């Protein structure tokens, strides 16, 4: 899983207790390629083995081997300010020496994992299992084994639709409705747009999903919006009285649940943005917040 | 796309270029798509397919070019469809595919893909037809661009055609029933129509014509849906009546479009079966008055009626069904409603509707003349023809006068547009071709309709009426009917507008012929008929009466003779006085006719008629009347006949007529004969005088009827009369011949002609001699023979003998020679003559 330089005296590997059955998910790595990581959720036990392999024919002297579970929020604009909200340690091996491969079991029972893993524009939440082989003379080997945390939300008890009438006087008057205000990640946005008055030459209409991330606090609040999805729902100009159906599958998009004030550091909100574009490429839009939640892991 | 939008749309080359570019791209994407399909690479295939379909998002192409592009894409979509249909190749369920294609970001490619997958989904049996189709037709609403939408929905219609849960289809049951199929097609139809109608709007006004043309090119895309509906196995009457028709009509009425309304009404008419129309006529017709005023409702209605008319003609057993459905009444109400609702309706259309009504009525209810008349009446009213001044006397159709006449009617539309004229003529011709004269004449509103025509057209129509009467087998035998007939042809009875002389003559000739078709076996009725006809002709003035008088006179004379014949057959009966009364009336009628002709300065005709009438009177023993008529003829001769040739002819007519009269008293006869002799003597030319006098001689002599002419080869041998009178006439003739001979001796010219006269006189003498009249004794004949011979030899010696005179003389001599050889009295008489 991890690659170490040949110069490393010891290769550290980690296997999870569940083995093949371990839940995994693919996410984009820092370098932009997909990586598959194990997934855990709150109050789950994280257990497995740490495999230590010294370079062939080498004896390893060490000051102890430990494993940590770390959960951190990182604000990119403030790199140094990583904040650990989870930090658990287990000593795996007492100081000593070994000269062959060594497998050591570890276990963290019912770990509290309060926040989901998240990679945003200005902020991220990341979890790692960190194995540290302490050695003198700067030979300490630290290996991180990232994992993902996903939290299943309570399905909303109330999930009423969104219905709204908007318009520009004597110009455009529409009413739109979405069947729900809260969507799980694989949900479908179903709705309808009614045209009550159309005096502009509409070219097309699209539905956007926008993500708004606000990180930090006070004067150092950083707000970033990005358009996650652009989905054309109408081609051409309708006349008054027409209604246009909307059906947008959320599955293909890389959404996260809505996050509210995670660790007092950031929030992520989602919006449905209905955009009408006229023949002069003017855009008329109306944004509605939706709540996104995780139904299953 | 934005570049496309900026380009000017009109130039043909630009269109071609846009199309070529788009087609190249389609080809390219299709190539990659097919390569991906070969690799069973679903994701790549969808991507390339979407790109290919994305070319259909263009707004630069005219509908025609767009259609070409669509067809190209359409054929490529087949590859995708067969790939979708094979789960082994893509490893997805149909439902998964159905969701997957909806991830496409652009709506038009997305929906094309969705329809393609959807049809596979239904075909596989995995998806219920009604649900999938409903979803597709609903989702297609996202395409509001008219051309994009129309073609997308056409694709949907095409793809779904075999998937409808129609009765008997494999998709029935789980997949729904016919009702679901109907709902689906209707919805697609409605949406397509809306898009189609929307094409008319937007864009600069100068492009209106081009847009209309383009729309017409696309109309069958919309109409196709109606075809699909009509071909549904499960579409029964109740479904059609309760669902299909109301919804189609609702759309037709609501779309308020000049092109869509007539097209769709016509499509409905043509596509659905006749018995559906019959059973739903009210609903269907109910929509017609609601069409836009600018839509030719008349054409729409006419087309529907034509269709049903054809049905009635093709299947006469349908007639009952038509009657049950009260089809004609409904049509009429509808026509009336259209006329009412659209005051601006052109005459042409009003007429077209009524012409169709007429054809329909004749086809479906041939036996009901009153319906035909009713249609004529409403046609006349629809064009504001004035009501006939008096309430119609003809009771056959009371409907004619029903419309309220209290308020001043709007001025009648005079039909001048050639197309409208054609319609009206067609309308009026139908009854002529269908019914015989008697029935046609019972159509009391017919003349009202004719009054809508311009004078020249009305005349043509009247000529057609006359011709039809002439062609018909039945004569008009009722004075009232005669009066009606004249109403029909009123336009020939008055001057209006320019009229070609030749046409006038021809028309009047026809009218004259018409007189002979006015005939009743009952003498009294016949008189009434003739009186009526004459009165009618008299309204046309002298120049028409001149043409009509001879046939009228002949008919009257014929009638008179018939009366006389009846009288003589019925000598003893008490009706004699009555019959005489009738005869008197006939004579009066003739007398009037004579007066009329004189007024019309047709003196020749008047004279002839006078003489014929006199003969009639004479044959009936009405001596006074006969004498009177002769007198009148003579007066007319004296006063009006001035041309010598005419005088000669007239006089010979007078003499001829007089000679045939048998019932004059001696006194009258002599008086009349003397006058005739007097006229004869005053003729200008000697030859005429001689001939006339010779003829006059006959007035005094009556050959006794040959009693046994059959076996007696001696022929007529005797007669009776006034020998002195004969002699006087003959001598007068001889005197003229003598004077002529003397004159020629003096002047040295004209001897031949004079000798000719002499030979003529000789012959006259000879005739009387032969018949034993003392006025022509043998001595006189002998003398004449001698003289003639002498003159001829003299002329012969000079070589100036006219051959005709010579021949005449030779023939005379031969005759004498022949008669001499006969036995009996005549032979004996001739033997008294000296041998030539």
CA distances from A235 to A179, A207, A279, B56, B733 (A): 22, 12, 12, 11, 116
**Alpha-carbon span B238 to B235, nearest angstrom:** 8
**Which of B102, B142, B145, B255 is the best residue to mutate to test the A interface, defined by the most A CB atoms within 10 Å of its own CB?**
B142
pLDDT digits (tens, 9 = 90+) for A116-136: 999 988 898 999 999 999 887
> Other CB atoms closer than 10 Å to residue B25's CB: what's the count?
15
Weakest-pLDDT range from A287-291, B113-117, B194-198, B324-328: B324-328
**Alpha-carbon span B305 to B309, nearest angstrom:** 6
Asked whether the predicted pLDDT for residue B117 surpasses 50, the reply is: yes
Mean pLDDT along residues B624-652: 83
Asked whether the predicted pLDDT for residue B709 surpasses 60, the reply is: no
Check: CB of residue B376 under 8 Å from CB of residue B487.
Answer: no
Mean pLDDT along residues B584-608: 81
The answer to whether the CB atoms of B105 and A231 lie below 8 A apart is yes
The answer to whether the CB atoms of A237 and B5 lie below 8 A apart is no
Asked whether the predicted pLDDT for residue B692 surpasses 80, the reply is: yes
Q: What is the pLDDT of residue B424?
A: 84
- Nearest by CB: A238 against B102, B103, B144: B144
- Please compute, for residue B700, the number of CA atoms within 13 A of its CA located in the half-sphere on the CB side: 25
Asked whether the predicted pLDDT for residue B114 surpasses 90, the reply is: yes
Residues of B (202-231) whose Cβ lies below 8 Å from A: 202
**Would you place residue A83 in the very low, low, confident or very high pLDDT band (cuts 50, 70, 90)?**
confident
Mean pLDDT along residues B644-672: 82
What is the residue-averaged pLDDT of chain B?
82
B712 and chain A: CB distance < 8 Å anywhere? no
What is the residue-averaged pLDDT of chain A?
89
Q: What is the distance in angstroms between the Cα of B125 and the nearest Cα belonging to chain A?
A: 24
The answer to whether the CB atoms of A244 and B141 lie below 8 A apart is yes
Check: CB of residue B288 under 8 Å from CB of residue B334.
Answer: yes
Helix axes B107-123, B129-139, angle to 10 degrees: 170
**Alpha-carbon span B406 to B51, nearest angstrom:** 74
Q: What is the pLDDT of residue B103?
A: 93
Question: What percent of chain B clears pLDDT 90, i.e. is strictly above it?
Answer: 23
User: HEC profile for B348-403?
Assistant: HHHHHHHHHHHHHHHHHCCCCHHHHHHHHHHHHHHCCCCCCCCCCCCCCCHHHHCC
Asked whether the predicted pLDDT for residue B19 surpasses 50, the reply is: yes
Q: What are the chain A neighbours of B103 within 8 Å (beta carbons)?
A: 249, 251-252
The answer to whether the CB atoms of A234 and B139 lie below 8 A apart is no
User: HEC profile for B171-230?
Assistant: CCECCECHHHHHHHHHHHHHHHHHHHHHCCCCCCHHHHHHHHHHHHHHHHHHHHHHHHHH
The answer to whether the CB atoms of B144 and A201 lie below 8 A apart is no
Question: What percent of chain A clears pLDDT 90, i.e. is strictly above it?
Answer: 60
Q: What are the chain B neighbours of A243 within 8 Å (beta carbons)?
A: 141
Asked whether the predicted pLDDT for residue B265 surpasses 80, the reply is: yes
From the list B836, B816, B825, the residue with the least C-alpha distance to B767 is B816
Q: What is the pLDDT of residue B531?
A: 83
Q: What is the distance in angstroms between the Cα of A269 and the nearest Cα belonging to chain B?
A: 22
**Alpha-carbon span B451 to B377, nearest angstrom:** 12
Check: CB of residue A70 under 8 Å from CB of residue A128.
Answer: yes
**Alpha-carbon span A280 to A201, nearest angstrom:** 8
**Alpha-carbon span B610 to B629, nearest angstrom:** 6
Q: Is beta strand A266-278 parallel, antiparallel or unpaired with respect to A202-215?
A: antiparallel
The answer to whether the CB atoms of A233 and B106 lie below 8 A apart is no
pLDDT digits (tens, 9 = 90+) for A224-268: 999 999 999 999 999 889 999 999 999 999 899 999 999 888 999
**Residue B484: exposure state from Cβ atoms within 10 A (0-12, 13-18, ≥19):** buried
Query: Residues of A near B (CB-CB distance < 8 A)?
Result: 201, 204, 230-239, 242-245, 247, 249, 251-252, 279, 281
**Which of A232, A250, A279 is the best residue to mutate to test the B interface, defined by the most B CB atoms within 10 Å of its own CB?**
A232
From the list B563, B567, B565, B530, the residue with the least C-alpha distance to B549 is B530
pLDDT digits (tens, 9 = 90+) for B751-762: 788 888 888 888
**Would you place residue B572 in the very low, low, confident or very high pLDDT band (cuts 50, 70, 90)?**
low
pLDDT digits (tens, 9 = 90+) for A262-286: 988 899 999 999 999 999 999 999 9
ipTM above 0.95, yes or no: no
Q: Tell me the helix, strand and coil percentages in chain B, rounded to 5.
A: 75, 0, 25
**Alpha-carbon span B734 to B759, nearest angstrom:** 10
B109 and chain A: CB distance < 8 Å anywhere? no
Q: Name the residue with higher pLDDT: B609 or A210.
A: A210
Asked whether the predicted pLDDT for residue A143 surpasses 70, the reply is: yes
Check: CB of residue B245 under 8 Å from CB of residue B286.
Answer: no
Weakest-pLDDT range from A242-256, B60-74, B670-684: B670-684
Asked whether the predicted pLDDT for residue B200 surpasses 70, the reply is: yes
From the list B687, B702, B691, B830, the residue with the least C-alpha distance to B769 is B830
**Would you place residue B835 in the very low, low, confident or very high pLDDT band (cuts 50, 70, 90)?**
low
B143 and chain A: CB distance < 8 Å anywhere? yes
Q: Which residues pair with A125 in a beta bridge?
A: A73, A118
**Residue whose pair of structure tokens reads 């045209």 in the numeric block:** A195
- Nearest by CB: A235 against B57, B139, B202: B57
Closest-CA residue of chain A to B197: A239
Q: What is the pLDDT of residue B711?
A: 41
What 3-state class would DSSP assign to B592?
helix
Largest CA distance in chain B: 145
pLDDT digits (tens, 9 = 90+) for B789-814: 888 888 888 777 788 888 888 888 88
Task: Determine which helix (DSSP H) or strand (DSSP E) holds B646, and give its type and residue range.
Answer: helix B644-660
B35 and chain A: CB distance < 8 Å anywhere? no
Rounded to 5°, angle at Cα B662 from B661 and B664: 90
Check: CB of residue B140 under 8 Å from CB of residue B112.
Answer: no
Check: CB of residue A274 under 8 Å from CB of residue A264.
Answer: no
**Alpha-carbon span B495 to B504, nearest angstrom:** 10
Q: What are the chain B neighbours of A191 within 8 Å (beta carbons)?
A: none
Asked whether the predicted pLDDT for residue B678 surpasses 60, the reply is: yes
Q: What are the chain A neighbours of B143 within 8 Å (beta carbons)?
A: 234-236
Rounded to 5°, angle at Cα B40 from B39 and B45: 95
Q: What is the pLDDT of residue B755?
A: 85
The answer to whether the CB atoms of B138 and A245 lie below 8 A apart is yes
Closest-CA residue of chain A to B143: A235
Question: What percent of chain B clears pLDDT 70, i.e. is strictly above it?
Answer: 91
Weakest-pLDDT range from A196-205, B25-34, B618-627: B618-627
């Amino acid at each position: 899983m991890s690659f170490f330089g040949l110069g490393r005296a010891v290769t550290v590997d980690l296997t999870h207790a569940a083995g093949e059955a371990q839940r995994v998910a693919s996410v984009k790595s820092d370098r932009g390629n997909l990586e598959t990581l194990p997934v855990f959720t709150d109050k789950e036990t994280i257990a497995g083995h740490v495999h230590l392999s010294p370079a062939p024919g080498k004896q390893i002297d060490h000051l102890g081997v430990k494993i940590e579970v770390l959960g951190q929020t990182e604000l990119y604009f403030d790199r140094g300010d990583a904040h650990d909200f989870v930090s658990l340690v287990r000593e795996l091996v007492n100081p000593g020496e070994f000269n062959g491969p060594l497998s050591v079991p570890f276990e963290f029972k019912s770990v509290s994992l309060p926040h989901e893993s998240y990679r945003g524009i200005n902020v991220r939440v990341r979890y790692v299992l960190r194995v540290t082989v302490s050695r003198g003379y700067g030979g300490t080997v630290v290996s991180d084994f990232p994992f993902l945390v996903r939290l299943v939300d309570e399905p909303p008890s109330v999930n009423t639709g969104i219905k709204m009438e908007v318009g520009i006087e004597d110009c455009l008057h529409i009413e739109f409705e979405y069947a729900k205000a809260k969507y799980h990640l694989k949900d479908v946005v179903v709705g309808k747009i009614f045209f009550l008055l159309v005096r502009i030459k509409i070219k097309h209409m699209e539905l956007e999903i926008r993500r708004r991330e606000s990180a930090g606090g006070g004067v150092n609040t950083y707000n970033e919006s990005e358009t996650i999805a652009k989905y054309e729902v109408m081609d051409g100009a309708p006349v008054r009285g027409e209604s246009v159906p909307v059906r947008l599958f959320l599955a293909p998009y890389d959404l996260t649940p809505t996050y509210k004030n995670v660790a007092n550091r950031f929030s992520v909100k989602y919006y449905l943005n209905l955009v009408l574009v006229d023949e002069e490429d003017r855009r008329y839009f109306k944004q509605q917040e939706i709540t996104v939640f995780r139904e299953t892991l | 796309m934005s570049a496309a939008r900026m380009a000017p749309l009109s130039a043909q080359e630009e269109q071609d270029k846009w199309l070529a570019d788009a087609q190249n791209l389609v080809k390219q994407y299709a190539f990659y798509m097919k390569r991906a399909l070969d690799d069973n690479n679903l994701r790549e295939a969808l991507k390339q397919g979407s790109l290919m379909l994305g070319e259909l998002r263009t707004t630069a192409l005219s509908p025609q070019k767009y259609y070409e592009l669509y067809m190209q894409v359409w054929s490529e979509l087949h590859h995708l469809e067969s790939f979708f249909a094979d789960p082994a190749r893509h490893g997805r369920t149909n439902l998964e595919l159905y969701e997957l294609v909806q991830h496409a970001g652009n709506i038009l490619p997305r929906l094309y893909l969705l329809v393609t997958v959807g049809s596979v989904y239904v075909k596989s049996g995995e998806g219920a037809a009604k649900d999938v189709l409903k979803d597709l037709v609903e989702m297609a609403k996202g395409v509001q661009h008219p051309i994009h939408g129309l073609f997308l929905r056409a694709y949907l219609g095409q793809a779904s055609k075999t998937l409808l849960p129609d009765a008997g289809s494999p998709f029935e049951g789980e997949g729904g029933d016919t009702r679901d199929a109907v709902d689906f097609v209707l919805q697609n139809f409605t949406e397509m129509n809306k898009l189609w109608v929307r094409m008319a709007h937007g864009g600069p006004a100068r492009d209106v014509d081009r847009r209309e043309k383009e729309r017409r090119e696309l109309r069958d895309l919309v109409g196709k849906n109606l075809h699909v509906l009509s071909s549904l196995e499960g579409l029964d009457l109740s479904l059609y009546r309760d669902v299909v028709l109301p919804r189609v009509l609702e759309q037709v009425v609501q779309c308020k479009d000049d092109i869509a309304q007539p097209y769709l009404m016509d499509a409905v008419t043509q596509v659905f079966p006749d018995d559906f129309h019959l059973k739903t006529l009210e609903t269907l017709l109910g929509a017609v008055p609601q069409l836009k005023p600018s839509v030719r409702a008349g054409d729409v209605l006419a087309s529907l009626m034509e269709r049903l008319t054809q049905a009635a003609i093709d299947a006469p057993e349908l007639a009952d069904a038509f009657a049950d459905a009260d089809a004609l009444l409904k049509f009429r109400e509808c026509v009336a409603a259209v006329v009412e609702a659209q005051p601006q309706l052109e005459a042409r259309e009003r007429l077209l509707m009524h012409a169709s009504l007429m054809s329909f009525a004749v086809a479906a209810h041939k036996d009901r003349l009153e319906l035909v008349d009713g249609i004529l009446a409403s046609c006349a009213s629809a064009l504001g023809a004035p009501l006939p001044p008096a309430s119609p006397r003809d009771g056959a159709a009371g409907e004619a006068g029903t419309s309220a006449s209290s308020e001043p009617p709007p001025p009648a539309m005079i039909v001048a547009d050639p197309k409208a004229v054609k319609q009206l003529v067609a309308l009026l011709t139908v009854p002529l071709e269908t019914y015989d004269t008697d029935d046609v004449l019972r159509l009391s509103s017919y003349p009202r309709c004719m009054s809508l025509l311009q004078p020249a057209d009305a005349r043509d129509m009247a000529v057609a009426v006359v011709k039809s009467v002439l062609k018909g087998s039945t004569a008009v035998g009722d004075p009232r009917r005669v009066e009606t007939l004249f109403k029909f042809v009123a336009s020939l009875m008055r001057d209006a507008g320019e009229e070609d002389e030749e046409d006038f003559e021809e028309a009047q000739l026809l009218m004259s012929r018409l007189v002979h078709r006015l005939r009743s076996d009952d003498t009294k009725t016949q008189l009434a008929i003739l009186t009526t006809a004459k009165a009618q002709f008299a309204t046309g003035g002298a120049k028409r009466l001149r043409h009509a008088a001879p046939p009228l006179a002949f008919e009257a004379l014929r009638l008179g003779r018939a009366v006389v014949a009846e009288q003589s057959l019925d000598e003893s009966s008490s009706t004699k006085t009555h019959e005489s009364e009738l005869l008197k009336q006939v004579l009066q009628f003739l007398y009037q006719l004579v007066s009329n002709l004189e007024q019309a300065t047709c003196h020749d005709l008047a004279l002839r008629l006078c003489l014929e009438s006199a003969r009639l009177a004479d044959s009936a023993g009405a001596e006074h009347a006969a004498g009177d008529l002769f007198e009148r003829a003579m007066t007319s001769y004296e006063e009006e006949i001035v041309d010598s040739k005419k005088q000669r002819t007239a006089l010979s007519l007078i003499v001829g007529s007089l000679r045939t009269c048998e019932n004059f008293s001696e006194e009258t006869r002599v008086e009349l004969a003397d006058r005739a002799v007097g006229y004869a003597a005053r003729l200008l030319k000697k030859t005429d005088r001689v001939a006339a006098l010779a003829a006059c001689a006959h007035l005094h002599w009556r050959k006794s009827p040959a009693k046994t002419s059959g076996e007696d080869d001696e022929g007529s041998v005797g007669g009776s009369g006034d020998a002195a009178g004969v002699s006087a006439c003959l001598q007068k003739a001889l005197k003229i011949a003598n004077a002529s001979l003397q004159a020629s001796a003096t002047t040295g010219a004209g001897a031949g002609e004079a000798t000719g006269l002499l030979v003529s006189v000789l012959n006259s003498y000879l005739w009387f001699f032969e018949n034993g009249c003392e006025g022509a004794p043998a001595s006189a004949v002998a003398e004449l023979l001698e003289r003639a011979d002498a003159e001829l030899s003299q002329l012969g010696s000079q070589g100036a003998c006219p051959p005709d005179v010579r021949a005449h003389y030779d023939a005379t001599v031969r005759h004498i020679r022949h008669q001499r050889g006969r036995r009996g009295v005549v032979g004996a008489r001739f033997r008294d003559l000296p041998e030539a």
